[in-house]
Structure 1
Amino acid sequence: MQVILLERIAKLGQMGETVKVRDGFARNYLLPLGKALRANEANKKRFESERATLEARNLERKSEAQKVADALEGKSFIVVRSAGETGQLYGSVAARDVAEILAAEGFNVGRNQVELNTPIKAIGLHKVTLHLHAEVELAIELNVARSSEEAERQAKGENLTSAEAIYGVDEDALRPEDFFDPDADRDLEDE
């Protein structure tokens, strides 16, 4: 199907271009969301008459997205979740969770603007990309931890999945004598 794009769409084209897309993509996404028009003479004339307003609206959306991006630039958000000793989360952190965390901090970001190909399933520092507009993209940092104290330690660069972090035991300093009592064998031999 041939469509006229009403806004810039990544990996597809710029505003005003006539592109060929699959029928389902046009019918289910581009046309219902007002991102494109069917390519015919009437719609070409309509697009040319509305071009100035579409460009102004696109510029306004871009400037709003840029303001949000400037406010979010370099920010880190703490996500507290329960996890096992190895750092594996009992649940996960998905795009919906990221959108809710940002909304709680006062940022209006939709879950479809969060690029998270697979959910986060382990504690640690994770980079998440946000697509606020076709031309505005930024990365934020999520600090996923078991508690806010652990999040602070993680932010300083500490690895919280080691035995030292969990139990306060230095793995390298352990010796066999710490686990095995040589005198215990002698007691058994005497009996």
Structure 2
Amino acid sequence: MDVILLERIAKLGQMGETVKVRDGYARNYLLPTGRALRANDANKARFEAERAVLEARNLERRSEAQKIADTLDGKSFIVVRAAGETGQLYGSVATRDIVEILGEEGYHITRNQVVLNNPIKTVGLHKVEIQLHAEVYVTVELNVARSAEEAERQLQGEDLTSADAIYGVDEDALRPEDFFNPDADYDLDEEDGEEAASESEEEEENKGE
């Protein structure tokens, strides 16, 4: 479908341009939200007649979006989710979850404003882009963790999916000799000791023969 853009839209074009888009995208998003008009002679004439009003409205929306951006950009939000020891979530954090999380903090955005290619499926610090206006983008951080305490540890730079975080072991401090030391005096129980002594005696006898 050919439409006339009533505001600048990323990857589509500038205000006033006629562009071709998918029918579903036009019917479900561009047309009902007032971001475009069907491209025909009547709407072209209407756009030209209302251009000044549309430009003023766009400037106002941009100004309002920028005010929100000034308070939202760079903010970090804690998201507590159940996850396994390796950090894999039992589920995911999707667009609708992000809308709810920001809404609880007083930032009312729509799902179309969240730029998220794939749902978040692991614990960690994740950057998410929010499009507040065609020309105003901000980036927020989602601190996804199994608890508020773990979220705080992540903010301090700790990797909750590393071996030392999972098992309490500092993997950088491990040495081969920590796993087996041939010179160590290992404690054997009585039966093991007798069995080892018996095997040693048999080896000596076989050598004598």
Same fold by TM-score greater than 0.5: yes
Question: CA separation of 1:120/1:68 partners in 2, compared to 1, >3 Å: closer, same or farther?
Answer: same
2:179 corresponds to 1:176 = yes
- 1:1-191 equivalences under 5 Å are 1-171=1-171, 172-173=173-174, 175-176=178-179, 182-184=186-188, 187-190=191-194
CA distance in 1, matches of 2:32, 2:110: 18
Give the Cα separation in 1 of the matches to 2:94 and 2:22: 29
Structure number with larger C-alpha Rg: 2
Q: In the alignment, residue 17 of structure 1 is paired with which amino acid?
A: E
Q: Tell me by how many angstroms 1:37 deviates.
A: 1.8
Structure 1 gaps, min length 5: none
Kept after mapping to 1: 8 A contact 2:87/2:123: yes
State how far apart, in whole Å, the 1-side matches of 2:22 and 2:162 are: 50
Q: 1:160 to 1:53 in 2, by over 3 A?
A: same
Q: Give the direction of change, closer, same or farther, for the CA distance of 1:21–1:111 in structure 2 (3 Å limit).
A: closer
- AA aligned to 1:183 is D
TM-score (norm 2): 0.81
Instruction: Note the alpha carbon deviations across 1:98-142, whole angstroms, 9 max, x for none.
Output: 111111111111122111111111111111111111100111111
Fraction of identical pairs, as percent: 72
CA contact 2:3–2:39 (8 Å) conserved in 1: yes
Structure 1 residues 51-101: Cα deviation after superposition (integer angstroms, max 9, x where no partner): 122111111111111111110122111111111111111111111111111
Partners of 1:86 and 1:23 in 2: CA distance: 43
How far 1:23 moved relative to its partner?
A: 4.2
How far 1:24 moved relative to its partner? 4.3
Aligned to 2:137, what secondary structure does the other structure show?
strand
CA contact (8 A) 2:87 2:122 kept: yes
